[in-house]
């Protein structure tokens, strides 16, 4: 039986995770690994499976809150350029899971391909975007996804296409822990026209969201037919502070953090928000971010 000690080149013990997340708070990972290619990833995953070590996957850390006590088990982050390659063939774009969503959008626009620009301003990697069907008012990534290559908890590769793929609001049916790449079917369009649409989306986001503050993006999913931000605002919670965490004055579905903030501050503010909204409107807010 292999051991994680066999991966001494890529493993770190008690690795601080806060600097790797957008909120910049939280404790360490018991084991932290950055596999350099698919084969090494497969070996790491198989080793964790054999030794019954839990696995968490870290992308760019844009929608994750790590608890103050940190994370037991293995945290695996895919950042190697070999896992972030982007190739374009006709109207199809294939992107590795470690590729930043913004980079893939730029590459597709440069090639005169439309469909991904609706995701302008959304942070994160292709892997995370596919897993959670990233999107906004203009569209979602699932609408242009043709296929997904994933890896099971045992290290086996699977390709999902057509009816095997299902996307809904901020979720997908991709249950495998690792997404390795996605293929997107786009439409030919004038790069200038696409760029203009991107600019409009970006201006709207910049005017309504606290993009310059330290946050993890939207905290709660929008209930069907409602806006989580509007409900929180109507509950009179804008600007509410708990320790170093505060509900943004600009957009009530954002929690911003300041120096000295603890994860527990954010968690208590989340609980307070859910309680107030449920009490006043009878709506149970569901988290959009992941809590580790």
State which residues form the domain around 265: 210-291
Asked if pLDDT for residue 7 goes beyond 90, the answer is: yes
pLDDT for position 55: 96
**Span 117-127, pLDDT tens digits:** 999 988 899 99
Looking at the domain assignment, is residue 201 inside a domain?
Answer: no
Average confidence score pLDDT of the chain: 94
Over the stretch 202-251, which tens digit does the pLDDT of each residue have? 888 776 676 666 677 899 999 999 999 999 999 999 999 999 999 999 89
Q: Rounded to an integer, what distance in angstroms lies between the CA atom of residue 104 and that of residue 252? A: 29
What per-residue confidence (pLDDT) applies to 174?
96
Residue 202 lies in a domain: no
Pick from 81, 99, 126: which residue ends a domain? 81
- Structure confidence at residue 154 as a pLDDT band (50, 70, 90): confident
Please indicate, yes or no, whether residues 113 and 99 belong to a single structural domain of this protein.
yes
Reported as a single tens digit per residue, the pLDDT across 157-177 is: 999 998 899 999 999 999 998
Q: Is residue 204 part of a domain?
A: no
Same domain for 88 and 76, yes or no, is no
User: Are residues 286 and 267 part of one domain?
Assistant: yes
User: What is the pLDDT, as a whole number, of residue 214?
Assistant: 66
Q: Is the pLDDT of residue 87 over 70?
A: yes
Domain boundary residue among 23, 47, 81?
Answer: 81
276-282 contacts at long range (C-beta below 8 A, 24 or more positions apart): 276/232, 276/235, 276/236, 276/237, 277/231, 277/232, 277/235, 280/234, 280/235, 281/231, 281/234, 281/235
**Domain stop point among 56, 81, 106:** 81
**The predicted structure's pLDDT at residue 119:** 94
Asked if residue 74 lies in contact with residue 106, where contact means CB atoms within 8 angstroms, the answer is no
Residue 226 is predicted with a pLDDT of: 94
- Could you tell me if residue 237 is inside a domain? yes
Q: Is residue 94 part of a domain?
A: yes
Looking at the domain assignment, is residue 203 inside a domain?
no
Same domain, 91 and 168: yes
Percent of the chain with pLDDT over 70: 97
Q: State whether 90 and 153 are in the same domain.
A: yes
What's the CATH code of the domain at 70? 3.30.43.10
Mark whether 89 and 174 lie in a shared domain. yes
User: Are 63 and 99 part of one and the same domain?
Assistant: no
For residue 218, give the CATH number of its domain: 3.90.78.10
Q: What pLDDT is attached to residue 211?
A: 63
Q: Mark whether 16 and 99 lie in a shared domain.
A: no
- Residue 136: pLDDT band with limits 50, 70, 90: confident
- Are residue 27 and residue 100 in the same domain, yes or no? no
CATH code at 181? Answer: 3.30.465.10
The pTM of the full predicted model, rounded to 2 decimals, is 0.89
| Active-site residue set | 170
Do 221 and 128 lie in one domain? The reply is: no
Confidence check: pLDDT of 32 > 80: yes
Determine, yes or no, domain membership for 264: yes
Between 29-33, 142-146, 185-189, 205-209, the lowest mean confidence (pLDDT) is in 205-209
226 part of a folded domain: yes
Beta carbons within 10 angstroms of residue 141's beta carbon: 25
b/e map 145-159, b = 16+ CB within 10 Å: bbbbbbbeeebeeee
Residue 291 to residue 17: CA distance in whole angstroms? 13
Residues 98 and 187 in one domain: yes
Predicted local confidence at residue 155, as pLDDT? 87
Q: Which residue has the higher pLDDT, 258 or 116?
A: 116
What is the number of structural domains in the chain? 3
pLDDT beyond 80 at 1: no
Together in a domain, 243 and 272: yes
């Amino acid at each position: 039986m292999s051991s994680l000690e066999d991966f001494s080149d890529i493993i770190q013990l008690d690795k601080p995770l806060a600097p790797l997340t957008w909120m910049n708070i939280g404790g360490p990972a018991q084991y932290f690994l950055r596999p350099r290619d698919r084969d090494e990833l497969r070996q790491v995953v198989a080793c964790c499976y054999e030794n019954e070590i839990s696995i968490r996957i870290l992308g760019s850390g844009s929608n994750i809150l790590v608890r103050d006590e940190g994370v037991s088990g293995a945290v695996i982050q895919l950042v190697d350029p070999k896992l972030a390659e982007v190739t374009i063939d006709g109207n199809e774009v294939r992107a590795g899971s470690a590729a930043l969503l913004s980079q893939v959008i730029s590459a597709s626009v440069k090639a005169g391909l439309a469909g991904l620009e609706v995701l302008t301003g959304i942070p994160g990697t292709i892997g995370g975007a596919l897993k959670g069907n990233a999107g906004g008012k203009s569209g979602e990534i699932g609408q242009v996804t043709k296929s997904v290559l994933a890896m099971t908890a045992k290290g086996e590769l699977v390709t999902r296409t057509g009816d095997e793929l299902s996307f809904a609001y901020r979720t997908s049916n991709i249950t495998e822990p690792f997404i390795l790449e996605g293929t997107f079917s786009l439409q030919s369009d004038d790069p200038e026209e696409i760029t203009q649409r991107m600019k409009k989306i970006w201006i709207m986001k910049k005017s309504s969201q606290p993009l310059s503050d330290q946050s993890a993006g939207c905290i709660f999913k929008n209930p069907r037919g409602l806006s989580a931000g509007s409900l929180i605002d109507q509950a009179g919670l804008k600007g509410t502070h708990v320790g170093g965490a505060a509900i943004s004055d600009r957009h009530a579905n954002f929690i911003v953090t300041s120096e000295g903030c603890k994860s527990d501050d954010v968690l208590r503010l989340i609980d307070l928000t859910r309680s107030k909204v449920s009490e006043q409107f009878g709506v149970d807010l569901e988290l959009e971010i992941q809590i580790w």
